[in-house]
Amino acid sequence: MVNKDMQNLGENRSAIRELFEFGRLRKAELGEDSVFDFSLGNPSVAPPVAVGDSIKRHADERGIHNYTSAPGDYGVRTQIARYLRDTFGAVQTPEYIYMTCGAAAALTIVFRALACEADEFILMAPYFPEYTVFAKAAGARPVVLAMQEDCGINMPALAAAVNEHTKGVVINSPNNPSGAVYSRAALQSLAALLRQKAAQYGHPIYLIADEPYREIAYDVEVPYIPELYADTIVCYSYSKSLSLPGERIGYVAVNPVATDAADVYAAVCGAGRALGYVCAPSLLQRVVGDMQGVTSDVEVYRRNRDLLYNALCEMGFRCIRPDGAFYLFVKAPIEDSEAVSEHAKQYGLLLVPGDSFGAKGWLRIAYCVDTDMIRRSLPQFAKLAADYRLI
Ligand code: PLP
């Protein structure tokens, strides 16, 4: 007898992974050029050369492959804290940073660190589907706010959803899957509401800022959230900004001036221990320590965004114009987005239905792919548009 919830999770892949695996088989069958795989957020841009140099430089250092201290190497945490202070004016200190295996581990740790019995975490549709998995695994209840048509923050729904059980709100800007970047004004309103609700219920409401796409934005400001709301815990990853998703490296940063910050950080360390997430990969810690302020060439994503967004709009698709990340969120031409995703497969187009993002009737297109593949895919999108009489 095994844990049935876990068995279920293991047997049912996410919609994104399902499509990605389908694409792998189709490519083997039909050839690479016949499949337009827009399923996965795997960066197409190579990591900066400096990453390779740093790996080589550190690889032979004495003791580099040993365990670091459980929350991560103190020198690396110091480099990160200094960067956050210099760049955003943050009050971050190394003592409140915990190195993790990417944002997934950071989020898992934070949910586990905060969740007490009957606690709720609010998610805003459209949202990264694994949030529900992580929150439930921590014994908490995810509460989903309905999506706004422009993919902004649904403030009325948020005001109605917060209650005495609300422990935290998850925010992801730039957003996967919509590409939305919340403005400073929108975040200030959110912060004001959470402060008011926290005072009303007499306990802190933590903002969990999931930020793997912080550096991937096109001509818009990405405000640093702890500066606007003290009770923020940042979950960061180098998967996208340095194109290192397979290397599994990121961190949790508890704001040192958050309510009960010392307890929260101790619980983060405890959750890391309970989940077996101590000592993130040692070599990669040193590498990202060196890479503060360095990113992959995100201009490629801007070119892809412009090409795809303009072409699809011209074909009659209704799209959210992405200000950041590398996803285009498209209104499905009929309500049943799963049926559209199925139909698109005959043209080799792999588009993720919005259902698992809490956005039925939408499709996600990951445009972190070769620009040439986007160009070649446009006639296929035109066929799809014609089938639904958009053109
Ligand atoms: N959060 C969001 C919004 C994501 O899009 C992803 C990955 O695509 C993650 C978290 C997980 O990232 P990581 O690779 O750092 O675990």
Spatial neighbors of 53 by CB under 8 A, at least 6 apart, are: none
DSSP result, 21-90: HHHHHHHHHH-GGG-EE-------SPPPHHHHHHHHHHHTSTTTTS---TT--HHHHHHHHHHHHHHH--
Ligand 1 touching residue 101 (CB < 6 A):
no
The CATH number of the structural domain formed by 62-290 is 3.40.640.10
Ligand 1 touching residue 241 (CB < 6 A):
no
pLDDT surpassing 80 at residue 391: no
Distance CA 107, CA 268 (A): 10
- Per-residue pLDDT averaged across 104-123, rounded? 98
Residue 213, amino acid:
Y
Q: What is the pLDDT of residue 293?
A: 97
Q: Average per-residue pLDDT in the chain? A: 97
pLDDT surpassing 80 at residue 93: yes
Q: What is the pLDDT of residue 299?
A: 95
Ligand 1 touching residue 104 (CB < 6 A):
yes
Q: What is the pLDDT of residue 36?
A: 97
Ligand 1 touching residue 245 (CB < 6 A):
yes
- 159-193 residue pLDDT tens: 999 999 999 999 999 999 999 999 999 999 999 99
- Going from the Cα of 212 to the center of ligand 1, the distance in angstroms, rounded, reads 6
Q: What is the pLDDT of residue 300?
A: 96
Q: What is the pLDDT of residue 131?
A: 98
Ligand 1 touching residue 102 (CB < 6 A):
yes
- Going from the Cα of 16 to the center of ligand 1, the distance in angstroms, rounded, reads 13
- 317-368 residue pLDDT tens: 999 999 999 999 999 999 999 999 999 999 999 999 999 999 999 999 999 9
Question: pLDDT > 90: what percent of the chain?
Answer: 96
Q: What is the pLDDT of residue 17?
A: 86
Q: What is the pLDDT of residue 14?
A: 83
Distance CA 102, CA 383 (A): 38
Ligand 1 touching residue 323 (CB < 6 A):
no
Q: What is the pLDDT of residue 15?
A: 84
Ligand 1 touching residue 178 (CB < 6 A):
no
Domain boundaries in the chain? Answer: 4-47+296-387, 62-290
- Going from the Cα of 195 to the center of ligand 1, the distance in angstroms, rounded, reads 27
Alpha-carbon dihedral sign for residues 213, 218, 223, 224: positive
Contact 312, 84 (CB under 8 A): no
- 12-39 residue pLDDT tens: 878 888 899 999 999 999 899 999 999 9
- Going from the Cα of 344 to the center of ligand 1, the distance in angstroms, rounded, reads 26
Q: What is the pLDDT of residue 12?
A: 85
Q: What is the pLDDT of residue 5?
A: 92
- 224-270 residue pLDDT tens: 999 999 999 999 999 999 999 999 999 999 999 999 999 999 999 99
- Specify the CATH superfamily of domain 4-47+296-387: Aspartate Aminotransferase, domain 1 (3.90.1150.10)
Task: Please tell me if the domain spanning 4-47+296-387 has the same topology as the one spanning 62-290.
Answer: no
Question: pLDDT > 70: what percent of the chain?
Answer: 100
Encoded tokens for 103: 């944002």
Ligand 1, atom 8: closest residue by C-alpha: 41
Ligand 1 touching residue 126 (CB < 6 A):
no
